[in-house]
């Protein structure tokens, strides 16, 4: 499990960097075609928007995996460890509920509904583009299982690591 996790972390990290670099290039290309060539490229804007959705959802899976999502924990920190454990597990289950119902269930349904609907500018169907949600959902669910099993294990020492991503908080 831990080796699979280490492998997954690495794959997602590489994917995130590659897609983000592609995103920068797409928008730079967009600016170049509009300002220099005077002939704005329509597909690059569309491609940038969808790349952005994909890279953001993968980024969120990574952030939840690293417990770097924005949370307020100054209340929970003051509780005794036993209650911190309960609060932590409830918090993970709430993420699970959202991810399971909206991102995985709703994402698959929406993707199936739009599976054959073509996109005029990109070589993918709308349904394929919607797959970002269920894929990110499954990744988040995997990390949640790890977090919950840690919270249930004797190694649990109270809420740690669950820190704010400080720059995101004031973006």
Partner 1 sequence: MIDPLVLSAILIGGLIILLAIGAPVSIAIGLPSAVCMLLLAGFDNGATTSVQQMFRGANSFALLAIPFFVLAGAIMNTGGIAARLINLARVLVGRTPAALMHSNVIANAIFGTVSGSAVATAAAVGSTMTPMLRKEGYNPAMAAAVNVSSAPAGMLIPPSNTLIVYSLAAGGTSIGALFVAGYIPGLLWALACTVTVFFYARRHPELKGTPFPGWTVFFTTVLRALPSLGLIVVAIGGIIAGFFTPTEGSAIAVVYALALSMIYGTVKLRDIPGILFDACRTSSIVIFLIAVSSIMGYVMTYARLPQLIAETLFGWTDSKVVVLLIMMLVLLVIGIPLDPTPALLIFVPIFLPIAVSYGVDPIHFGIMMVFNLSIAVISPPSAPVLFVGTQVAKVRLEPVIAKMVPFLLLLVAMLFVVVFVPELSMWLPRLLGLAN
* Per-residue tokens: 29: 């290309």
Strand partners, 87: none
Q: What six digits make up the tokens of 144?
A: 């949640």
How many other C-beta atoms lie within 10 A of the C-beta of residue 160? 11
CB of 151 to partner 1, least distance (A): 12
By CB under 8 A, is residue 144 in contact with partner 1?
A: no
User: Min. distance of Cβ 35 from partner 1 in angstroms?
Assistant: 7
Using CB under 8 A, count the residues that bind partner 1.
67
Instruction: Give the C-alpha separation, 47 to 147, whole Å.
Output: 34
Give the Cα-Cα-Cα angle 48, 170, 26 (nearest 5 degrees): 10
Q: Is 155 among the residues that bind partner 1 (CB under 8 A)?
A: no
- Which of these segments, 3-11, 46-54, 116-124, 150-158, binds partner 1 (CB under 8 A)? 46-54
- 45 counts as binding partner 1 under rule CB under 8 A: yes
Member of 6, 81, 82, 109 binding partner 1 (CB under 8 A): 109
Among 47, 133, 135, 139, binds partner 1 (CB under 8 A): 133
**What is the C-alpha separation between 136 and 15, in angstroms, rounded?**
13
Judged by CB, which is closer to partner 1: 63, or 138? Answer: 63
Angle between helices 81-98 and 132-152 (to 10 degrees): 160
CA dist., res. 62 & res. 56, Å (int): 10
90 binds partner 1 (CB under 8 A): yes
DSSP 150: H
Report the interface residues with partner 1, using CB under 8 A: 13, 16-17, 20-21, 23-24, 27-28, 30-31, 34-35, 45, 48-50, 52-53, 55-60, 62-64, 66, 68-76, 87-88, 90-91, 94-95, 97-98, 101-103, 105-107, 109-110, 113, 130, 133, 159, 162, 164-171
């Amino acid at each position: 499990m831990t080796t699979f996790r280490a492998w997954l972390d690495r794959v997602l990290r590489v994917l995130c960097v590659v897609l983000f670099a592609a995103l920068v290039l797409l928008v730079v290309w967009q600016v170049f075609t509009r300002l220099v060539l005077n002939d704005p490229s329509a597909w690059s804007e569309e491609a940038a928007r969808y790349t952005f959705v994909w890279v953001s959802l993968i980024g969120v899976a990574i952030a939840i995996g690293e417990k770097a999502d924005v949370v307020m924990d100054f209340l929970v920190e003051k509780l005794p460890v036993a209650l911190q454990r309960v609060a932590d597990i409830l918090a993970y289950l709430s993420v699970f509920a959202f991810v399971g119902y909206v991102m995985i269930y709703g994402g698959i349904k929406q993707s199936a509904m739009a599976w054959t609907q073509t996109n005029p500018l990109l070589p993918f169907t709308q349904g394929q583009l919607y797959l970002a949600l269920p894929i990110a959902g499954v990744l988040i669910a995997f990390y949640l299982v790890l977090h919950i099993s840690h919270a249930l294990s004797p190694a649990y020492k109270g809420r740690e690591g669950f820190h704010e991503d400080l720059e995101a908080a004031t973006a």
